[in-house]
Chains A and B, each alone.
Chain A
């Protein structure tokens, strides 16, 4: 609702800007007139900034920007000379824009209400000046409101100050009564105003700001000023995280913090970031999951724990991946993976209800229904459904599975098959199944689906299935073809855990060795050795095994990707839209 309103407000601004071209012209004239009056300053600053300009390839855009900056710096000086502080210390606000809009919308056109004295603050995002009347549009955190500034109504020389010193982009504080204009625009009938912060740079052009995607991410604050709806994504994000916390607390979970810097990075398969601690004199890894530490808490007797926090993976960036991202992991003693399915449904539906008030969510043009219960299907039967091949039939025969998989890839990708390497590298039927699943099933899982019972070979931390040998009690949750969650009945047997870790390390080292020994002629080696995604060390977390030896209660756990959940619920196409400051390539 709010999002919609703010957006509408800002679109009014656009149409207003184009409609009121005369007013704009007036403003431009004003600006030019001031340019003339302070010509010397411009000249002086032009030389001062010429160096900067040269560096920036002297685009016209940049020079405009620099001259605006020079003019405004001059205004800062002049204001100080007149005894005003252009960077004020404080402003006492009585109302937000929304409170005014909601509280006084009932006024008649042309009506003035003096029964209340309001005090507002915000950024000036539009301005129209006519002789003895100036309209300013002020935007604060909650929305926008018009400032109706009439010469007679303002105290002393404030009108002159307004005309010569206030620019679009400045932060203003204003007090006055309330007036609805003849045209029906609810306004503050300004008695007194103060420049709270003088801005030095022109606000970006709306259309330009929208198209320059890279700049949007690099200078998020500019994006937010130009496109107020961007801020709504972060408001919703906060609400989602808060809703998740509330849900967890309501089920009696307690929030804990486990370390980011670790001696060995475990709990997932991913390349970690490495750093060095000077005083300890050792390498440390940034966590790739919180799993192993949270499980130690179960051993310690905290029966329901969770952590919401940042996870780091040294991987490429894409619309779905940022090197640091936020997850929640939760662990509950005496429960199994079915409880986690219920908890996943509970969390996601509660979030959707708190944001949208309904369980039908539009994501990039597709309607997603979050109505419970969600589909629950085993990995094997989903693959069979999509490809006609039942991987149960292969038993432990990897070669047969590979042949079948290659056949599937050939048939489904019509010759443009570059995945045979992937299949060929598989060391078990489970791995082959997973390749086929990722290629042909994942993208089709649009509506929420729990994919159950993953092969043991690709699930080193999950408990063996109580009924089906070779499988684990694990599920992943998919929505819109993306993995949102991953959960299992936790493996509690330290002996089994150790051998699974050892297998994992063996596999990893084999891959690494294969990469290292690959012939030079192969295309792969055109990349630096450094770039091979498997070229990193995996260590066994001995202490974690020791903790299991002290006995961990039967338990289940789940991780949910918060960024992806926020993407879903804010209809954002890229993870960069839901992370305030995403990692970007270094600028040239």
Chain B
């Protein structure tokens, strides 16, 4: 079916909701006729315009790729203006797509070499490569949904006459979004193709697309063949989660451009879309897992009067009409626990957190977490859930429990990370004492303990910038001795109270808490505990944090009075859990930089507007 006709029909549907059927039909016919008339006129104009613009653009297109990008852009703008001046809309409103390209491949991939169908199919996508073999035959690669087919525009199939055909196709550029109605078939070499009868530019690409050109020596063959080969090679093994990646082999390599203009990254590096699909799948997996277990997804405020629930520097903003200072949340923890107090026994939230910190390989000022709270559960239950969730997810996304990860940089071989449950458990203090051969004083809040740990840091040359609170000293030692050993998923458990102001005191071991952190590839992925629900103890802990704050640790937690009051109404025994989704996405996509898994990572301001990509 001619998609333009269909459009006309659909158009006629608008604003006729109340008219009777007959009137509707009449109206439809009338509009359809009008539309057909209009289209015919437009086509006439189209031809005229094609003539006009081609006469302006005398240079054959083969030289385009060697042109200066600014010159190229100017030329395209001129051609666009000429089209508009001729009364033609270079940005059509609608093109009816009959089939996704992936579907097309499914349906016609099994045709024999040289075979053609009589059926007319309409597809649309972006032209990513163009080869003209003569003025009567043009080859294109058409991409849509991450896959491609070849377009073999042959004058014999086209509705245009020869002159028109040549002019039209000489103005179709790499990067243009086009719609095609034509016959499915395979080239003699076996390349799945479409043979266009109609060929429309839906949205022209005004910039020269960056491209990856190997030294030209290898290109002695016909352009069509050469291109077919390189593309085919790139497409042989599509990336799937858990497999190693090599961004250095991308068509667009420049990191700045990739992150600042993600649309180019997505256009040119076909693998990239799968990273974000994987990210989306990870989040869906978590949602499914929690929904199956009767957790309720909720939304808590991102702007608060107090930034609580974690220790970090918050973003500050101001509400004008209320004349109120607000902080962007650093964690949803306190609000979620308030909801458990309110009787929602199992809640979770997947959302953004904001921390006013530096940007590096694992930190972005806004990042996504999942936190859940489960009444009547403790940290042992949560560890089990964590194992089930993560190993199940890895199995589902990758087909096995083991993934490849370039832990030591792209130039070294990737390591293997094994998610087979159960995960290793490592007691923090015991583990540290064993591995570093220490005998840490039992009372960790004592001066003696502080002195002992400070000496230990000095002895092992573990740096701890001031303030050297006991919590910070311990953290550095644990980082040095324990976390380094956690390549496969490992729970570091039973943190001391001084490090964990919101975790419940251990039921058997005084001074410690029922807390765990999950480390994978030496990075913290989860943090969870049996929640502290004794309001008196909670207030004491906040007071101790205040002391740390006064001693210069500006990352100590602030007291939230509303939260403490909520605890006084009674929080059931509860297990709580937080997971960094960006970091998990990094592991499963073999990304060493958090920017790889954020569509629009925070970047330093640029002096110049990002108008031109680095070619």
Contact = CB atoms under 8 A, between A and B. Distances in A.
B352 A69 contact: no
A518 interface: no
A279 B355 CA distance: 11
Given A89-B514, A139-B343, A231-B344, A271 B15 contact: no
- Which of A230, A315, A492 is packed against the most chain B CB atoms within 10 Å? A492
A493 B91 contact: yes
Interface string B322-346: 1010101000000100110111111
Contact of A550 (B264, B320, B368): B264
- Which of B262, B263, B326, B368 is packed against the most chain A CB atoms within 10 Å? B263
A69 B568 CA distance: 9
A233 B324 CA distance: 28
Contacts of A140: 343, 345
A259 interface: yes
Interface string B568-600: 111111000000000000000000000000111
A201 B343 contact: no
Contact of B175 (A228, A550, A583): A550
A259 B291 contact: no
Interface string B533-571: 111100000000000000000000000001001101111
A19 interface: no
Interface residues of A, number: 126
A530 B318 CA distance: 11
Interface stretch (A38-46, A127-135, A352-360, A369-377): A369-377
Nearest to A578: B299
Range of interface residues on B (Cβ < 8 Å)? 35 or more
Given A89-B507, A336-B94, A550-B264, A495 B80 contact: yes
A242 B316 contact: no
Given A141-B346, A225-B343, A375-B17, A554 B573 contact: no
A241 B299 CA distance: 11
B260 A580 contact: no
Given A90-B376, A123-B570, A376-B17, A220 B267 contact: no
Contacts of A222: 342, 569
A279 B365 CA distance: 10
Contacts of A367: none
B97 interface: yes
A486 to B, nearest CB: 17
Contacts of B402: none
A196 B573 contact: yes
Contacts of B376: 90-93, 121, 173, 196
Contact of B280 (A254, A276, A324, A579): A254
Contacts of A274: 317-318
Contact of A280 (B204, B341, B570, B605): B605
Interface string B358-391: 1100000110100000011110110000000000
A84 interface: no
B599 A301 contact: no
Contacts of A85: 507
Interface string B513-544: 01000000000000000100111100000000
A141 B572 CA distance: 12
A525 interface: no
A256 B277 CA distance: 8
Given A89-B514, A315-B321, A550 B302 contact: no
B261 A256 contact: no
Interface in A459-502: 463, 466-467, 473, 489, 492-495
Interface stretch (B140-148, B440-448, B462-470): B140-148
A259 B93 CA distance: 29
B174 to A, nearest CB: 11
A118 interface: no
Contacts of B381: 90
B158 interface: no
Contacts of A323: 303, 319
B458 to A, nearest CB: 30
A554 B3 CA distance: 14
Nearest to A124: B570
A275 B317 CA distance: 5
Interface stretch (B6-14, B47-55, B215-223): B6-14
Contact of A466 (B11, B18, B346, B604): B11
B207 interface: yes
Contact of B322 (A297, A580, A586): A586
B599 A257 contact: yes
Nearest to B143: A301
Contacts of A261: 315, 354, 365-366, 602
Contact of B15 (A299, A312, A452, A495): A452
Nearest to A170: B570
B439 interface: no
B158 to A, nearest CB: 22
Contacts of A315: 321
B305 interface: yes
B271 interface: no
B160 to A, nearest CB: 22
Contact of B342 (A196, A220, A547): A220
Contacts of B315: 261, 275-277, 284
Interface of A: 69, 73, 76, 85-93, 121, 123, 139-141, 169-171, 173, 196-201, 203, 218-225, 228, 230-231, 234-235, 237-238, 241-242, 245, 249, 254-261, 263, 271, 273-280, 282, 284, 286, 293, 296-297, 299-303, 309-310, 312, 314-317, 323-324, 326, 333-336, 338, 373-378, 452-453, 463, 466-467, 473, 489, 492-495, 530-531, 542-543, 546-547, 549-554, 579-581, 583, 585-586
Given A282-B605, A296-B600, A543-B260, 5 more contacts: A141-B344, A255-B283, A274-B318, A297-B262, A301-B145
Interface of B: 10-11, 13-18, 73, 77, 80, 90-97, 124, 126, 143-146, 175-177, 179, 202-207, 209, 260-267, 273, 276-277, 279-280, 283-284, 287, 291, 296-303, 305, 313, 315-322, 324, 326, 328, 335, 338-339, 341-346, 351-352, 354, 356-359, 365-366, 368, 375-378, 380-381, 504, 507, 514, 530, 533-536, 562, 565-566, 568-573, 598-600, 602, 604-605, 609-611
